[in-house]
Structures are given as C-alpha cells and as structure tokens.
A and B are shown apart, each in its own frame.
Chain A
C-alpha cells in the first residue's frame, strides 16, 4: 500500500470541524483546514446529485495541486475527509475505503461513550485521537518505508 496520508479530518453535521490532524510536513495545518472546509462543498454536491448513492464512501472529491481529497459521509452526516499526496500511482478505492472504515469505527466507538454529549462541543478522547493518529501515521510511515 502506498497511500501517503497527509491529513485526516472529521467534520460534524453542522459542518464544524471535530478533529483535523496533519500527518505531513509538506504543508501547514492551515492548508488542511482549508482543504477540509472546501471538501464539504464537494461532498454536499455529490450527495445531492447522486441520490442513489448508498455507500458512505464518496470517492475522490477533488485534487488540488499535489493533494487528493477523498470523502466519506456517515448516516448521521458526519463527514470524514482524507487528504493524500498525489503520486503517479493508482489509488485503489478499496484501500481508501478501508482507511475510512477504520476512522469511522474509531468515531463510532468514541460517540458510543455514554458520557459523550452529541450536542456539546466535540472533545476528542485520548483513545479516539490515538486510534486516528495510528491510522494516519501508520500509512504515512508505510510510504516512507517504501
């Protein structure tokens, strides 16, 4: 697998950022915040234009400069955004989807906490951020190894 994860972002249903983490050194955090924010547009557009879309995985949203942005939206309209570095290789949808599923399950187990209040500000638990960071770092390291 040669997916170079630059950033994983989890965005709430009100389009507010819940968790955004930068795993690269090529761009500042701000860039990924912008990218995650702009990705909401594409997700909304894609969901609107493809009402038959049943999968939570939305595919490649857009590519900007050397970054490719993938999207995923859960049933509760929580959006997960993955930013990866564009190489000349083919990115398999299945690989991306697997990463999304991992992040999603981390999110699900986080909100399943009975003390988590969905109405209040999202406070990332240590376990959640560890889980997400693990996904992000593992994949970015994998590229470095290759």
Chain B
C-alpha cells in the first residue's frame, strides 16, 4: 500500500497505561456503531436470541492508532483524550494549513486501513474456515479473519486477578462468575451475554499498534530539514540526531506496550507507517533496524513496515503471523478452563450431593451447572480458534448436560420453570442447538444436523408438557416456529456457502453417518437398516424452504392457540388447567404480536427458497398458504390477489380440487370486499361439474348466484357496461359447440349453422333459465338473438330448436326469434339458424353469449368462438344435429367450423384454343381462342395474352390482332376486350404471334377475366391457361464460296498497280425445313447500305435469273448462285473480310385456313467475303475436254501476291498418260504482285481417268509451294471424225 503525503504523528504513543478498575465491560464506540447498523434481519434475530450467542466467533484483534479522529483538529479532544503526543508537539498556534492538510492525509490513511481491517461485520463459519487452518491440518489459502476493534492509544486490559490463593473458597472470582456478588449471574446463573462482551471487546487475542515514523515535515513551521550527507562516509553517525531521538522515544513506547501485553499472554505487534519521503531516504533501513532493536520486537513476526507493497500483501502478512498468536492465546484459555473443569466433582456424585433445600433464597450454582458453564466456555474458546471438531464436542457435552438439568422430572430442580435462570438456560440450550447444527452442516453431516434438531425439538416437546406450555399453548408453537426458522436460516447460509443437500435417490449410498447417539428421545437410531436400501423419511435434510414452511405452519398454529386463549379469556371460564393459567400469564405479551405478519414473512421466505430451487408448484402452494393467512388476517385484497395469481396454473393443469378450494376462498374474499362482478365470476365457475363438491353445496352456490343477480347491486363502480363472464377461460358448467354446415357458400344462399349447448352431467343442480342467446358475427348485420320462450317446457335430454325463421328487427338491428332457454343438468339443446348474405364476405362467428336473468346490469356468459384454438387432428369429426334424434350425423372434416366464406357464384366459362403447330420463325402465326359461356346469362370477358420464351431472354416476340405488316400495334402483352358473350354462346378471338430469331418453344399465357353482365361489381372471375408453342425455322442455308482465277494482266508494268480484284462465286443452298409447304415469292439479295470495310468493295455481278419455284416442300433444296467481285484499292493493305448483305426470302405458308396471310421475309446474311490468299500460289489451266491424240496446252501460273520478291524453282513430274514438252526443271523469279506462266504442250496417249503432269514449285530454301491438288482428268477416246 502506498500512502501519499506526509504523516503527522499524533496519538501514536501510549505513554502511560492507566489501570482502570472497571467491572462493566467497556463498549467501544466501534462496536456500538456496528450494532446500530445491523440489517433488518439481524435485528430480528437479536429480538429472538442474543447475537453473540449465535454468531460464529473469530479471533479478536485490537488495533491501536487507527481510531477515527475528530474531523476538526482545532477542537480539543474530549476528556478522555490524553495530553501527549501530537497535541504536545503541535501547539495550536503553530499549526499551519499544510499541517492540517497532512492531518487530513493521515485520516485518509487511517480510514483506508480501517476499511481493510474491518471489511466485514459478521463472518460466517464457512468464510472463517476458508481462511484458516482446516481441522484436518491442511492449510488453506487466504487471509484469516479477525474481528477487529479499534481502540484508543491508552488501551489497557482489565487488571489481573491475583494469582495466588490457598483455598478454593478464597478464590478471587472474575467479575462475571456466579460466585462474585456483583455478577449478574450470582448466585446460580450459568452464562450471560456480558461474558461475551468481555471476550469480544475487552480481551483481544492480539493487539496491533500503528505508528508513523517521525519526519521533519511533521514539525509544523519547519518543513525544511537538514540535508543528509550521502556517500561512502555517511553512516550511522550521520543520521539526524533529532530523528534518532524521536525514534528512540517511539521504540520505548512500543516496548512498554509489548511488555505489558506479553505479561497478559497477548501478543503485541507494531506497524510502522512510512511516508513517501522515507522511502527514498537511505538512512531508513538503519532507523528501522534501530527501532527494532530498541522496541524489543521480533522483526520477523511482530514489526511490519508499511507500505510493504500492496494492500493485500500487508494484510496477509499481518494476519497470518498474528493469527497463530491468536490461536495460542485461545488455546491457553482452553487449557485454563480445562483445568477448572477437572477440579469439579463428577456430575453423578454431584447430583447425589444435592440435598433438596427448602430455603427460600436462591441456591448456588450446582455442579452440573458449573460443568455446563465450563464445557460451554471450552466450546466458545475452541470456536474462537476455529477448532470446529473440538468445539462441537464441548458444545455437545454442555448441551446434553443442560438438557439433563432442564428435564423437569429427573433434573436437579434448580431451574424452576418460568424463572429468570430457567429462561436463560432455555435460550442457552436453543443457541447451543443452533451452533451444533451449524457445525454438523459445516462438516457436511446433514443427517446429524437434522438429528440434533429433532433431538432438541423432541426434548423440549416433552419438557414443555411438564412446564404447562405444551402443544396446547401458543408459547410452544411460537418456540417451535422459531426453532424451525433459525434452522432454515442455517441451512440457507450453509447452502449459499456450497453445502450440498443430500438427494434421496433410491440407489443410495448414504454418506457414512454415524449411528445415532444414544439419545433417550429418539428411540433406536434410524440408520441401522441403511444397507437394505431404505431410509427414514423423517431424517432427510431438505432445503431451507421446507423448514421455513414448517416454521410458518407453527406460526399459524400459534395464532390459532392464541385465538383460543382469547376466546377463553372472554368467556371467563374458570379452570384449574395449568397450561391455561400459564398461557394467560403470557397473554398480554402475545397480544402485541402480529401473528399473520410473522406467518406471511416466514411463508415468503419459504417461497423464495422454493423459487430458488425451481419448485414452482411448491411456490404456488406456499402462495396459497400466504393468501389464506392474509384472509385470516382480514387482508382480503391481498389474499384475492394471491388467489387469482395461483388459480391459473391449477386451472390449466386441471387440478380441480385445488381450484375449487381457491375459488371458494376467492369467493369469500370477493364477498368481503363487495366485488360483485368477481363474485358472479367465481360462482359461475364453481357451478362446473369438474370442481368436486357436494350437490347441496352446489345448489347453495346456485341460489347464491341467483340472489346475487337479482338482489345484488352488481356494480362495483357504477359501471353499466354488461358484465361478461368469459367461459373459455374458466371451467364451465355449459359447453358450447358451433358448426357451420359448409365452410363456404354463395351469395343469396341460406347458410345453416348450429349452436349446441350442453350442460354438465350434474350441474346446474336446479334448472336455470337464460334471458337470451346471442350469436354475434363479425358483421353486426347478421347478429342473431333468440329470446327465451316462457311457454317452452321441454325437459327432454335432447331438444332441437329451429331458429331459421328469425326475422330482422330493424329497430334493434338484429335477427330475432324465440327458443327455449331453460337448462337443467345433463341436457343438450341445439339451435339451428341461417344467414343469407347479399354480398360476398367472410362471415365469422365471434361470440356466443347467454344472458343471465339479472336485475339491472346485464350479465352474459360469453363463449369466445373466434379465438378458440382447436387441434383439428385430435378433434372429433364434424357433427350435424338432427331435429328429432340426439344422434348427430357426421359432416366432412374435423373440429368445428365457425367461419364461412360467402362468395358470388362463379359463372361457367371455358377456354379452348386452336393453332397449327409448329410455328415458323418470322411468320404471322395465327392463334384462335374460343370462349364458351356455359351459363344461361351473358358475361363480359377480357382476355389477356402474354408471350414468353421458355428461356428468360426477350426474343422480341410480338402479338397482334391483325395480320398486317404494321408492327406498331404489336406488343408482348395483349389485352383483348371480348365484350359480351351471350348465354350458352361462344366467341372466337384470333391473334397472331410473331416469333423472332430462334426456334425456341414459346409459352402463351392466356388469362380470361369475366363477370356476369348483370353485375356491376369489380371482382371478376379469372381463368388461366397456358399453351406451349413449338417453333421451327423455315429455311436452312449453307453457303459455299469459290474464288475465280484472275490473271495479272499488268504483270509487266512496273511498278505494278496496287489495285486488286477477285471474283467469288457463292452458292447458297437454301433448304426448306418447314413441315408445311411454303410459297416463296422471291429470293433476293439485299446489300448493306454501309460498306463494312474501307478498302474492300464488294460488288454483286449480274446473275442469270433462274426460274423461281413457287411452292417449296419440306427438305427441298434450292441453290442460288451469286457472283461477287472484290476490289481493293491497296493490295498491300492488310487483308480483311467484308460483309455484303443478306439473302432475303419472301414467303408465306401455304395454308388452307388463311389465304390472305401476309408475306413474311426471312433474311439470311451472307458470310463475310475476303481475298482468298496472300501466299504464292500455283494455278493450273487446261481445256475442259481432252481427247486422245489431240494436243492441248497445260499452263501453270505462279502468282506472287506478296510484296516480296520470290525466287522459285520448278520441276515437272512425268505422267504416263501424256507426252509433253516444256521446261523440265527451271529456276525463275516472280516479282511482287505479279505472276509467271509455264506452258506445256501435252499429247494424251491414254484414255480414262489419268493424272496430269504436276508442276512442283519450290521456294528457294523455303520449302514447297502448296500446289493445286493432284489433277485427275478424264481423257476421252479419239474423237470420231
């Protein structure tokens, strides 16, 4: 801990020790303060038992020098203040502001330290155990707990008793001993709380003094201090002489105290608080060393220096070391008391020695009394040193002996019932019982803890009878309640600290519980038969909730006993009953007690415990008990609140017996409070058969209901709204089923529905007549009211009322008729009604209400039909009741139908379509839709047609009504107003579909919306149909292009011209792929307007016009030859392809259906044209007809279309079929863009298919020129002359 700021030393020295002779223990201010800040719970416990008797004890530590100072230092301290130390050193007149600042700092330090030491007011056994040595000896971590008292500097112990004596009678007794005259225990008391005061507040086990190391800064007005020399030569001798003087004085003070406390067997330890300046001071080690030496404190264990490092470090440091000393201190006490105990005669001898004395004066404490006193003290001291096992043993011994003393028949009679000593003894026994239970719980010995409680209860139960405060007296129950409550609190604390409650599973291996002590009260121990797999349910330790509940039950019993006594008192019956007399004596005190509040508090505690253990249903039970207690206490409103809250669960889970009880309680509360609306609700529910009750009782309730309705004001708050009892939320004596005959229907058709009302088998006990039956729909216009028909005396088990004749009452705006509405038990009444709607609507039955006969405010039993949830799977089949037989017929479906869908009756209309598939791309495909009206009335219809390709992309398909070339009106969605279709008539509508681009399958969505012509309403009926249309292409075209040889005529010209021309013959093979015959009107070329290439021009050459075939059949092929000339102005430019245009075929389908179908055009683009080659080529030329013996010229032309000079080598290959002349082998050159021709004169000598001589051309060192293919020619035989 680092504490900033300098520290003023005041009050750090206790120079003189005053030995004040004080018998009355001094209460330190601190302990008074802490007592005043007890929590509410502690206060209550203090009302019952002295806190010191029941709390867990931990070693006591006195702290000197940290006492809270008075805020204003200028005000002289009170009379007890000593006139030394700081006061002397810092005279008032010299006190500067800086000093007061330092004082404040010192106060802060003290405050912090106090907070550390005194962090907890009470320490539980478990907390203490966590920080101390476990009984087994294993050391646990953490800081041991101390009970810290802050004392003055001149703190002293009471004077010591003289140690030498000759005779026991001369024993100078302690002030509290029963043997001292001044003692409150004189002459026969066993124990008093003052003894605790002594050991908790007067005698600490260790004393710790806090001191400030003196510093120059503490000297007011002289903050400068002489500079200290630091260096190799600076040594002890250089230490400030003033400091040395101050230190020596302080050491002397410490030493004095140490010696004083040592003499009394108490350890004294000192803590030196350094200020920050000290920490840097090189001489500080020396100063502290000297201090240690002078004070005589063992530096390791008794002198500590702050700041050590951290707050926890220091804390731990101090506590651990001091803790051992504290244990030694209490061990010495144990030894001392043991010695005293050993000197006593054995109790058996002692009892015999007691002679019944008839003297009036009180007898001195008997030997057993002394035994109890010493054993108890032993227990307490062992508890102080956390020896739980030993403490338990001592307490147990003391407790048993005390029980023997209390036993009325066998006891020594020293404790007269109701005497002061007797009361003290009882309290002591109760408190010891608590401690013993707590120790058993701490040792995880649940069975023994419970056994101890039972032993205590059994014992006192027996005694109480003898004391005339047995089970008939409220005192006994008060005491019992207290025992259970305290026990519950112990369990609660234990479980909060990790105590595990045993779970009595059937396959139980019991935690080896020792056999029961041979207590005379419990018979043979219950654990003998453990091995056989059984247990005594009475010996099961349960969670605190159960014990709080027991305590509450006892508290309730106490109240009853008390009431009994009050009655006795009033009746003034004279009796000699001792119990009665004893109770009478205690009555005035008991009258002050608010029993119900006590019971409720205990129940609430139990409630919380059960809630913690997630026993929700148990909490409901406790809530019921709380409510009952509130009722008894006359707090009906609270009671009703509780009853209402818990009733729901019992209702939901069908716990009718419990619910009946709750309802009857609620009814009583509501009556007390005059809440007539609630009363009616409870009474109606109580009429239900499910709630078990005698017939007379129910009859009584019904009468009650009747009279409440007729005589009661029925208004809690001048509310004239009808009172509605929701029957679906409660158990009902009436069940209501509704059924529409059909789930849907049409306008102007009567819709039948039935309301079936069943009474319980035995309820209502007397016939009950309702004023009216109301059926409310979602549209008020159709609400039905069936009024009770007084003349109806139908008393059959089953009756059927036809209410279809209900008439519209325009003033009341409802449909009404009469029916029998008197019900007796076990009756079934069915009411059938109709509604006829004049427009379409979803008609829902919302509620069915029965109006009770009441005066004034209307009372309805309401069945909320609309919000019913039904599981159609588990629901029974739909029933429809008949007029005469109670046996219903079954309708389709399950459950009940409370809503019906009324709609306009749809007219019948059919859609048919006609078309001739497959359709062809680009054509106007006619599609015929026929609408046939199958009704006798005319309808108006609108058709919407939409075309879609099966794939999602938009192909530009269009729909149109007329087969014209005008595409303006064509759209992809077409709305057609068909107009009126006469009854039983039909209308045909034609439309044309133009499918573009690809032969994909198209979908045609046809939707027809129509309505009767008579109706003005908007909602049309709608009908949909989807048609798939397959598409074909009309033509398939293959192009073949052949280049025509061109001669370089100007080859000799130099430089050669850049213009080049090439002719292409393009053959378009057009195949008709349509399954239909097509009439082709024309097939024309269409040239693109824009040339696609800058350099290349394409020109179509006029072609010989062939005869056009008019009608094409499937798979017929028509060739169309076209000659093109490609011209480029710059042959050196990169060669590219050029588009020309398309072949446009104008055609129509040959159809019988529609002659005037418009012509359609299919355009097939030509492939792009390009110059054939850019490489050296060899062309061959010869006449087309060859005859044997007729010579001809075979010419090979080598063309160089490149811009490079070509050096070539040619070699002719020999052929057997020809004799020829010309170069056999030659080398030659061809200039760029020019050609050279070799001519061979050939003479055929063989007929038939023969090979021409081939010219092989090689580019020098660059391989062969790809020659024209091997030319096979047919040589004809010699020509006939």
Contacts and interface: CB of A to CB of B under 8 A. Distances in A.
B617 A33 contact: no
Contact of B503 (A30, A46, A84, A90): A46
A46 B654 CA distance: 23
B614 A91 contact: no
B979 interface: no
Contacts of A92: 529, 532-534
A90 B539 CA distance: 9
B542 interface: yes
A20 to B, nearest CB: 7
Given A64-B549, A65-B550, A59 B505 contact: yes
Interface in B483-537: 503-508, 522-523, 526, 528-530, 532-537
B536 A119 contact: no
- Counting chain B residues whose Cβ lies within 8 A of the other chain, the interface size class is 35 or more
A90 to B, nearest CB: 4
B782 interface: no
B625 to A, nearest CB: 9
Contact of A16 (B549, B616, B653): B653
Contacts of A64: 546, 549
A38 B532 contact: no
B538 A97 contact: no
Contacts of A94: 532-534
Please classify the interface of chain A as helix (H, G, I), strand (E, B), loop, or mixed, using the class held by over half of its residues: mixed
Interface stretch (A49-57, A73-81, A125-133, A136-144): A49-57
Interface string A36-65: 011011100110011001010111101111
B890 interface: no
B616 A41 contact: yes
B615 interface: yes
A55 B505 CA distance: 10
A94 B506 CA distance: 9
Interface in B862-900: 874
A89 interface: yes
Interface in B603-629: 613-618, 620-621, 624
Contacts of B535: 60, 90-91, 93
A63 B503 CA distance: 12
B655 A37 contact: yes
B1188 interface: no
B239 interface: no
B932 interface: no
A45 B501 CA distance: 14
Contacts of A63: 537-538, 540, 542, 546
Contact of B655 (A16, A53, A86): A16
A38 B506 contact: no
A88 interface: yes
B529 A88 contact: no
Contacts of B503: 46, 49
Contacts of A57: 506
Contacts of B533: 92-94
B506 A41 contact: no
Nearest to A16: B654
B1081 interface: no
A115 interface: no
B553 interface: yes
Contacts of B537: 60, 63, 68, 84, 86, 91
Contacts of A55: 506-507
Contact of A58 (B506, B526, B530, B540): B506
Contacts of B650: 37
Nearest to B614: A45
A14 interface: yes
A33 B655 contact: yes
Interface string A102-144: 0000000000000000010000000000000000000000000
A94 B535 CA distance: 11
B657 A30 contact: yes
A48 B567 CA distance: 51
Given A63-B540, A91-B535, 19 more contacts: A17-B656, A20-B657, A30-B661, A37-B655, A38-B618, A41-B614, A41-B616, A58-B506, A60-B504, A60-B535, A63-B538, A88-B522, A88-B526, A89-B526, A91-B534, A91-B536, A92-B529, A93-B534, A94-B532
Interface of A: 14-17, 20, 29-30, 33-34, 37-38, 40-42, 45-46, 49-50, 53, 55, 57-60, 62-65, 68, 84, 86-95, 97, 119
25 contacts: A17-B657, A34-B658, A37-B620, A37-B653, A38-B615, A38-B617, A53-B505, A55-B506, A58-B505, A62-B540, A65-B550, A87-B538, A88-B538, A89-B526, A89-B536, A90-B528, A90-B529, A90-B532, A90-B534, A90-B535, A91-B534, A91-B535, A91-B537, A93-B535, A95-B534
